[in-house]
């Protein structure tokens, strides 16, 4: 990897990981893990509700702490690592959420949108860039779009002022071949950095992250013990180990990453994310990993196989923000079951 740009590691344990505990990370947990991530040498520590700034709500889950409380707790522990936040237009607004977050010491914001709707990020990206804030674009559910479409959408984010574009494998549906194709196309056709955010529904989070690096990505997201929605994310400890073996240059310290993962497991990772029939079905169906918990609840309520719910959600190409359709699908499948028994 000699001569390649230095890899940037974004640790999303305190944001994506919040999904795994219904957004109930506490102040002491955030402070302890932020210290560990700082010691591990990660470049960015992303903090907040699992769905980003302004997302705490009855619909997607009430957080234990406010955005400001979470951000300030982490910021107090960071010296070298940058404090990051996720903003998804629709959840986050400029005046109510973004500006207060910057007042809490946020160093960079990643503005996300569905992979075919980059235009909705224009206001936030241009405003943040004008303010001198580091801003990156994120294309959610990126497995749902072709490489050509992703290039088109990423170029829009680049034109708005984004300093990087990150492909989100929100459903854990990517294979290494698709990672290589799509990351490679972005690297070839953009003038800014490209990143990759993996989920583990098909057991591919680490190999997909390493494949993204081989294809030219210079930003990779990780979480401690893979702590995240559904089957979890690319574990910091395993990515760090593979970077060490492959001699990929980054600021992350191997033993520090191993220690950070231990801290997380001791404090708040009550169940290490793993694959089960529900998360695997989610990956096959290409359904947002964060749907696993509400699908399980709907399954129990209506007596319907959760895998059937997920496959139907995949058929309907449902995306994050359409959680209400889970109930609709479960009710419809339950009615079909009753009719089939008549």
Residues in the annotated binding site for substrate = 15-16, 170, 197
Question: Residues annotated in the binding site for Mn(2+), as ranges?
Answer: 16, 197, 199
Question: Residues annotated in the binding site, as ranges?
Answer: 15-16, 170, 197, 199
Is 19 annotated as catalytic? yes
DSSP secondary structure string, 137-168? EEEETGGGS-HHHHHHHHHHHHHHT-SEEEEE
Whole-number Å distance between alpha carbons of 156 and 154: 5
- C-beta neighbour count of 101 within 10 angstroms: 26
Strand pairing category for 193-197 and 219-222: parallel
- Of the residues 19, 49, 114, 143, only one is catalytic, namely 19
For 218-236, b/e burial (b = at least 16 CB within 10 A) is: bbbbbbbbbbbbbbbbbbb
Q: For residues 170 and 196, is the Cβ–Cβ distance under 8 A? A: no
Whole-number Å distance between alpha carbons of 59 and 100: 23
Cα angle 245, 247, 251; round to 5: 110
Return the biggest CA–CA distance within the chain.
68
Catalytic residues: 19
């Amino acid at each position: 990897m000699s001569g390649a740009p230095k890899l940037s590691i974004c640790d999303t344990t305190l944001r994506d990981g919040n999904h795994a505990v219904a957004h109930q990370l506490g102040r002491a947990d955030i402070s302890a893990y932020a210290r560990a991530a700082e010691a591990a040498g990660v470049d960015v520590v992303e903090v907040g509700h699992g769905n980003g700034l302004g997302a705490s709500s009855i619909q997607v889950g009430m957080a234990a702490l406010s955005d400001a409380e979470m951000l300030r707790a982490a910021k107090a522990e960071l010296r070298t690592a940058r404090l990051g936040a996720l903003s998804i237009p629709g959840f986050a607004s400029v005046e109510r959420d973004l500006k207060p977050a910057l007042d809490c010491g946020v160093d960079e914001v990643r503005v996300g949108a569905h992979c075919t709707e980059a235009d909705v990020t224009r206001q936030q990206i241009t405003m943040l860039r004008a303010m001198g804030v580091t801003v990156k674009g994120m294309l959610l559910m990126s497995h749902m779009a072709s490489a050509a479409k992703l290039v088109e959408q990423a170029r829009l984010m680049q034109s708005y002022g984004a300093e990087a574009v990150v492909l989100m494998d929100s459903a854990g549906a990517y294979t290494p071949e698709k990672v290589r194709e799509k990351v490679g196309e972005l690297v070839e056709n953009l003038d800014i950095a490209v990143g990759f955010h993996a989920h583990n529904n098909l057991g591919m989070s680490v190999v997909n992250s390493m494949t993204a690096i081989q294809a030219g990505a210079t930003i990779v997201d990780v979480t401690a013990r893979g702590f995240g929605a559904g089957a979890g994310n690319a574990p910091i400890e395993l990515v760090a180990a593979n970077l060490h073996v492959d001699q990929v240059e980054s600021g992350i310290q191997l033993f520090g990453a191993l220690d950070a993962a231990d801290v997380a497991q001791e404090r708040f990772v009550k169940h290490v994310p793993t694959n089960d029939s529900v998360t695997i079905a989610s990956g096959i169906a290409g359904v947002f990993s964060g749907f696993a918990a509400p699908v399980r609840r709907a399954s129990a309520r209506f007596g319907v196989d959760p895998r059937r719910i997920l496959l139907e959600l995949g058929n309907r190409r449902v995306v994050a923000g359409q959680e209400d359709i889970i109930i609709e699908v479960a009710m419809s499948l339950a009615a079909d079951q009753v009719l089939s028994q008549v």
